Amino acid sequence: MENILEIKNLTKEYDRFKLNNINLNLPKGTIMGFIGENGAGKTTTMKTVLNIVNRDSGSIKVFGKDNIKEEELIKEDIGTVLNDSFLSEYLTPKDINKIMKNFYRTWDEKLYFKYIEHFKLPENKMSKEFSSGMKIKLKIIVALAHHPKLLILDEPTSGLDPIARNEILDLFQEFIQNEEHSILVSSHITSDLEHIADYITLINNGEIVLSKLKDELIEQYGLVKCTEQEFNQIDSNDYIKYRKNRNEYDLLTENKYKFKKKYNIQVIDKPGLDDIMTLYIKGEN
């Protein structure tokens, strides 16, 4: 499958943080959920792809083109939602249309106002008067209105109520119907990613610790719950990480079927993304 985004050996060092040797491929026609703790490096990685943050080394290709050499051309086909940044709140949706049609050759005024109407956003009100949910919807509409091929979304659904979140997720699902499109989305709401993502990439302390098909993770990985006595009998090669709770142990295993065959342990659950993330980050080897 052709990749829409390829990150190779990306490194970026700050005083107290290092994005260390990041490798990541996002195939066409897929959604990749990017998860990790706050400050793990999700936003920095995304901003490096957009050339907002200068990289120290490594290479980034978007649509097969270098993200620095062909920056403007590439950005024509990217729609972005940043968690912490947007246009001034003193602008109205109408103003934003006037601005954006100068940036994008493919800006679709009709589509933009169709979305504005669909989400019941007032055209002539400054966005400072919008609720937080309305502001997020506006960001997403702007990201979609120039027919991008790649969406880079940093926490796009945080602050939305469940109904609005589902509406937005439906938009993303609709977007991905075109096989030339892809989405890289970071979110702390892992249930959203379980709902829409094809791939899950987990970043911790600036390093990618896991990048797999979501179905493989959910279907093959297992969350084993056992007693201390049972835990002591388990070979450490048969689990990835473990965590001791009050009276029991939680183990994350890569293949629950093999595990079941080998050990006589009754409780092996399907892990959620939260379980996988918590065990990878907080668990012990």
Partner 1 sequence: MNAIKGLLIKDLLQLKSYKRMIIIYMIIFTFFAVSQPHTTGIEITIIIWFAFGFGMFSTAAFSYDEISKSDSYVLTLPTTKKETVISKYILIIASTTIGTILGMAISLIITAIYGQFPDIINLLVVGTGTILVMSFVQSIHICCIYKYGVTKGRILILIMAAIAALLIAATVFTVKNLNMELPYDVSFSNILINFLPIIFIAASSMIYYISYKISYKIYIKKEI
Token code pair at residue 102: 């100068």
Q: Which residues bind partner 1 (CB under 8 A)?
A: 14, 47, 50-54, 71-73, 75-76, 78, 80, 82, 84-91, 95, 98-104, 152
Q: Helix, strand, coil proportions of the chain in percent (round to 5)?
A: 35, 25, 35
**Cα separation, 81 vs 154, whole angstroms:** 6
Report the Cα 285 to chain-centroid distance in Å. 26
CB of 139 to partner 1, least distance (A): 9
CB of 30 to partner 1, least distance (A): 21
CB of 96 to partner 1, least distance (A): 9
Q: Long-range contacts: 160-169, Cβ < 8 Å, 24+?
A: 160/133, 160/136, 161/133, 164/133, 164/136, 164/137, 165/189, 165/192, 167/119, 168/136, 168/137, 168/140, 169/195, 169/196
- For residues 102 and 236, which CB has a smaller minimum distance to partner 1 in the complex? 102
Token code pair at residue 5: 């985004």
CB of 190 to partner 1, least distance (A): 25
Token code pair at residue 215: 């179905």
- For residues 53 and 218, which CB has a smaller minimum distance to partner 1 in the complex? 53
**Cα separation, 66 vs 71, whole angstroms:** 8
CB of 148 to partner 1, least distance (A): 11
DSSP code at position 128? G
- For residues 47 and 256, which CB has a smaller minimum distance to partner 1 in the complex? 47
- For residues 134 and 277, which CB has a smaller minimum distance to partner 1 in the complex? 134
CB of 279 to partner 1, least distance (A): 33
- For residues 69 and 246, which CB has a smaller minimum distance to partner 1 in the complex? 69
Q: How many CB atoms lie within 10 A of CB 162?
A: 11
- For residues 17 and 113, which CB has a smaller minimum distance to partner 1 in the complex? 17
